[in-house]
Amino acid sequence: MSEPQSALTGTTCDGIAKIREVGLQGMITLRGDLSATEIASAIADATGCALPALREITHEGRNSVSWMSPDEVMVFVPYDEAEATAAKLESALTQVHALVVNVSDARAMFELEGPNAREVLGKLCPVDLSPDSFGQGIIRRTRLAQVPAAFWMTSDASFRVVCFRSVAQYVFDTLKIAAQPGSEVGLYTQANG
Amino acid sequence: MLILECPYCGVKAEETEFHAGGEAHIKRFGPGSSDADFEGYLFNRENPKGVHFERWRHANGCGKWFHVVRCTMTLEVFGSYSAQVSEPPQEIRDAITAKRPGWCWRDFA
Ligand SMILES: [Zn+2]
Domain A109-191 is of which CATH architecture? 2-Layer Sandwich (3.30)
Query: What's the alpha-carbon Rg for chain A, to the nearest Å?
Result: 17
Q: What is the pLDDT of residues B36-49, one digit of tens each?
A: 999 999 999 999 99
Evaluate whether the domain defined by A26-102 bears CATH number 3.30.70.1520: yes
Separation in Å, CA of A49 to nearest CA in chain B: 21
Contact by Cβ (8 Å): A66, A52: yes
Domain ranges in chain A are: 26-102, 109-191
In one-letter notation, the amino acid at residue A189 is: T
Please count the other Cβ atoms lying within 10 Å of the Cβ belonging to residue A131: 12
Q: Which residues in A lie closer than 8 A to residue B9 (C-beta atoms)? A: 54-55, 69-70, 141
Cα A146 from Cα B49, distance rounded (Å): 31
Dihedral, CA of residue A53, residue A54, residue A60 and residue A62, to nearest 10: 160
Question: CA of B19: which chain A residue's CA is closest?
Answer: A143
Of A54, A69, A142, Cβ closest to residue B64: A69
ipTM of the complex: 0.90
B12 CA to centre of own chain: 17
The predicted pLDDT at position A193 comes to 44
Of B8, B17, B63, Cβ closest to residue A142: B17
Q: Which residues face A107 on adjacent strands? A: A164
User: Mean pLDDT over residues B15-43, rounded?
Assistant: 96
Q: Which residues in B lie closer than 8 A to residue A151 (C-beta atoms)? A: none
Ligand 1 centre to CA of B48 (Å) is 27
Separation in Å, CA of B84 to nearest CA in chain A: 14
* E strand spans, chain B: 3-5, 12-14, 19-23, 51-57, 65-71, 77-82
Domain ranges in chain B are: 3-26+37-99
> What's phi and psi for A42, nearest 5 deg?
-65, -40
Ligand 1 centre to CA of B69 (Å) is 16
- The SS3 of residue A28 is strand
Task: State the pTM of this model.
Answer: 0.93
Residues with CB under 5 A from ligand 1 (ion): B 6, 8-9, 58, 61-62
User: How distant, in Å, are the alpha carbons of A50, A69, A95, A100, B91 from that of A91?
Assistant: 19, 23, 9, 10, 43
User: Mean pLDDT over residues B22-42, rounded?
Assistant: 95
For the domain made up of B3-26+37-99, give the CATH fold: Folate-binding fold (3.30.2270)
CB distance from B9 to chain A under 8 Å? yes
Separation in Å, CA of B54 to nearest CA in chain A: 21
Question: CA of A125: which chain B residue's CA is closest?
Answer: B17
pLDDT in tens, chain A (193 residues): 689 999 999 999 999 999 999 999 999 999 999 999 999 999 999 999 999 999 999 999 999 999 999 999 999 999 999 999 999 999 999 999 999 999 999 999 999 999 999 999 999 999 999 999 999 999 999 999 999 999 999 999 999 999 999 999 999 999 999 999 999 999 887 554 4
